[in-house]
Structure 1
Amino acid sequence: MRAKIKTTTTTIRMPEDEYKDVKELAEFEGVTVSKYMRHVIIERVNDTKDYEEGMKVLEQNNEQIPREEVLREVLGD
């Protein structure tokens, strides 16, 4: 037996020409417009979370060197 997942309904207003584009893409993918939009939105949310997590790792693991020090090393005193 599958566990019930709590869901929320939302409405998106968009120009008809944009909706037509989304509908065509959904049809190409073989899914409903609702399922296609849900997938695209969740994909974007996950990409943003991955980016933010990656930036945190970079900030934690990378030493910051002042610009002046880099210039001094590259160009000499």
Structure 2
Amino acid sequence: MAVTSIRFKDSQYKQVQDLAKFYGVSVTEFMRQAVIDRINDENDYKDAFKNIRESHGETVSRKGILNRLDLE
């Protein structure tokens, strides 16, 4: 397991503390989850971009997807 440190301005750290308290987690867990969420968002973006590129811009409507999956 790796360990790192982050420096914040006092006002920024206070915001992090307040949000962590609001969500009922420690500051460390809040920051860890924020970083993991950002990584997941970036991976989702890369996957979507790849899929669009590979589809040559062809798209399918929501209704079309539901029909393909027999959900509608």
TM-score interval, normalised by the smaller of the two chains: 0.7 to 0.9
Q: When the two structures are aligned, how many residues end up with a matched partner?
A: 58
List alignment gaps of at least 5 residues for structure 2.
Answer: 58-72
State the partner residue of 1:35.
Answer: 29
State the partner residue of 2:54.
Answer: 60
* Alignment counterpart, residue 17 of structure 2, candidates 14, 23, 32: 23
List alignment gaps of at least 5 residues for structure 1.
Answer: 1-6, 64-77
Counterpart Cα distance in 2 of 1:41 and 1:32: 14
Counterpart Cα distance in 2 of 1:14 and 1:21: 10
State the partner residue of 1:66.
Answer: none
Segments ≥4 residues shifted beyond 4 Å: none
Q: CA RMSD in A?
A: 1.4
The structure that has the greater radius of gyration is 1
- Give the superposition deviation at 1:18: 0.2
